[in-house]
């Protein structure tokens, strides 16, 4: 952990006026966007939910809906949170790996990448419960595990291949995943509770799901329903331990491949931001234009290969990547080109310590802490505004904790 918990010289917004200003601002844009992304997980959604319960305003109801995941097919703002974080990992790789190669050489950089990837993977296992329920109950592939795999794969590819070669790699991965999901036949069995109960009745009361699966001989292809597609069936057959959705996992084995492409899109964006041939305003515009094109292409592809987060379809990669590019372009334009930075400082505090905030939100819970501070009689005394006050206290604790770490230059870096 000594390599990760550091007091480093990350510049503050108000203290840098030198020729390095533009490079610092680039990192500020990434940290600010990462913090904006993490804010909604750690506390922002609590405020929206509390306001919606108190007011019942249609606009707030619509916003609250956007802060929930779609059940399966489709796209809401909350479905952008995870891929945006993976995308920003790719941006950071583009900024960090060239410096690492210069400092450590290729062998040292590879060792550094693998060490960080393995450590983050282990943290991910612990985050999901570790071995508390025994080896059979370990969740091997969760959110942090996916980030670890995407980081490791993207960083290694960037270490050994030129960016020009990575573009066809990304295209091939998206097309290959589409072909795999559309063409490879699966057993004609739906891995959901209702369908399995009906099948059990048909087969004389057999309740062993593995036997029901093995005894299904009919094959079908081109299916994208829950528990009825190549990725979910592959997880059922090959993913050990506990699966988030009982029989399969939204961060499963096969869907990690297109998730790596999401990280590669961030890498391409990071390289574009560093492209000194073009003016900063042109870089921002380029990100926004490409983002719009990717988003449009993703929705068009969705007519054939639906936009589904839980199996990270290729169309979902393009839609989420498009929004990510546009957001990065907007943050870059506002913070770096126009110089409006004061507003984003709280997000910079969070973004500079995103992993710490994510872990703190899981193990401490800013909402739970707020209930201890402002719940009970305080909440009751405020009546209908009680929930709103508790939510605001939770956000205040989030900002205070992030600022505390930032001001003391303590960062848990991966």
**3-state SS class at 375:** coil
**How far apart are the C-alpha atoms of 144 and 126, rounded to whole Å?**
10
CA dist list (Å): 212 to 99, 222, 245, 249, 363: 54, 21, 18, 20, 38
Q: Which of 342, 311, 343, 174 is nearest to 232 (CA)?
A: 311
Q: What are phi and psi of 225, to 5 degrees?
A: -85, 165
In the chain the first and final C-alpha atoms are separated, in Å, by 10
Query: Using N-to-C axis directions, what is the helix angle for 81-127 and 21-39, rounded to 10°?
Result: 70
Q: What is the pLDDT of residue 375?
A: 86
Q: Which residues pair with 412 in a beta bridge?
A: 5
Which residues, including other chains, have CB under 8 Å from residue 322's CB and lie 6 or more apart? Answer: 290, 291, 292, 293, 294, 295, 296, 297, 298
330 token code pair: 């907007």
- How many C-beta atoms lie closer than 10 Å to residue 240's C-beta? 12
The residues of the chain scoring below 50 in pLDDT are 1-26
Do residues 236 and 64 lie in contact, with contact meaning Cβ atoms separated by under 8 Å? no
Closest to 99 (Cα-Cα) out of 158, 30, 170: 158
| Angle of CA points 320, 326, 328, to nearest 5° | 100
């Amino acid at each position: 952990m000594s390599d990760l918990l550091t007091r480093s010289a990350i510049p503050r917004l108000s203290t840098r006026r030198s020729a390095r200003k533009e490079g610092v601002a680039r990192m500020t844009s990434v940290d600010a966007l990462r913090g904006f992304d993490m804010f909604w997980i750690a506390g922002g959604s609590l405020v929206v939910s509390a306001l919606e319960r108190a007011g019942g305003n249609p606009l707030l109801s619509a916003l609250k809906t956007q802060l929930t995941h779609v059940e399966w097919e489709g796209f809401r703002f909350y479905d952008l949170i995870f891929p945006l974080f993976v995308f920003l990992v790719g941006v950071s790789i583009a900024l960090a790996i060239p410096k690492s190669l210069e400092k450590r050489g290729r062998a040292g950089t590879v060792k550094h990448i693998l060490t960080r990837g393995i450590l983050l993977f282990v943290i991910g296992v612990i985050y999901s419960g570790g071995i508390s329920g025994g080896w059979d109950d370990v969740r091997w592939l969760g959110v942090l595990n996916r980030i670890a795999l995407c980081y490791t794969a993207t960083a290694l590819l960037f270490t050994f291949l030129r960016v020009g070669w990575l573009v066809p790699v990304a295209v091939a991965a998206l097309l290959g995943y589409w072909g795999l999901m559309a063409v490879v036949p699966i057993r004609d069995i739906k891995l959901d509770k209702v369908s399995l109960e009906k099948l059990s009745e048909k087969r004389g009361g057999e309740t062993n799901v593995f036997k029901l699966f093995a005894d299904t001989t009919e094959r079908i292809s081109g299916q994208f329903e829950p528990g009825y597609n190549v990725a979910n069936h592959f997880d059922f057959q090959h993913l050990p331990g506990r699966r988030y959705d009982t029989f399969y996992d939204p961060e499963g084995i096969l869907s990690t491949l297109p998730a790596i492409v999401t990280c590669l899109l961030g890498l391409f964006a990071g390289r574009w931001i560093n492209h000194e041939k073009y003016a900063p305003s042109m870089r921002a515009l380029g990100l926004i234009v490409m983002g719009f094109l990717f988003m449009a292409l993703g929705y068009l592809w969705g007519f054939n290969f639906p936009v589904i987060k839980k199996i990270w379809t290729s169309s979902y990669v393009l839609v989420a990547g498009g929004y990510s590019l546009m957001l990065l372009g907007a943050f870059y334009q506002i913070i770096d080109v126009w110089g409006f930075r004061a507003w984003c400082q709280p997000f910079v505090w969070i973004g500079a310590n995103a992993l710490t905030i994510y872990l703190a939100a899981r193990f401490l819970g800013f909402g739970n802490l707020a209930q201890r501070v402002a719940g009970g009689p305080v909440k009751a005394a405020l009546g209908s505004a009680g929930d709103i006050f508790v939510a605001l206290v939770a956000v205040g604790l989030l900002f205070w904790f992030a600022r505390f770490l930032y001001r003391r230059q303590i960062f848990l870096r991966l």
